[in-house]
Amino acid sequence: NAGVTQTPKFRILKIGQSMTLQCAQDMNHNYMYWYRQDPGMGLKLIYYSVGAGITDKGEVPNGYNVSRSTTEDFPLRLELAAPSQTSVYFCASSLGGVGEQYFGPGTRLTVT
Amino acid sequence: AQKITQTQPGMFVQEKEAVTLDCTYDTSDQSYGLFWYKQPSSGEMIFLIYQGSYDEQNATEGRYSLNFQKARKSANLVISASQLGDSAMYFCAMRGTGRRALTFGSGTRLQVQP
Q: What is the pLDDT of residues B54-108, one digit of tens each?
A: 988 999 999 999 999 999 999 999 999 999 999 999 999 998 876 677 899 999 9
Instruction: For residue B30, name the pLDDT band (cuts at 50, 70, 90).
Output: confident
Answer yes or no: are the C-beta atoms of B34 and B48 closer than 8 Å: no
Segment B28-39 mean pLDDT: 92
pLDDT, tens only, A26-37: 999 999 999 999
> In A, which residues are within 8 Å of B55 by CB distance?
none
DSSP chain A: ---EEEE-SEEEE-TT--EEEEEEESS--SEEEEEEE-TTS-EEEEEEEEETTEEEE-S--TTEEE--SSSSB--EEE-S--GGG-EEEEEEEESSSSS--EE---EEEEE-
Of B91 and B30, the structure prediction assigns the larger pLDDT to B91
Query: How far off is chain A from B14, nearest CA to CA, in Å?
Result: 24
Segment A47-58 mean pLDDT: 93
Residues of A with CB under 8 A from a CB of B: 31, 33, 35, 40-45, 48, 50, 56, 58, 88, 90, 92, 97-103, 105-106, 108
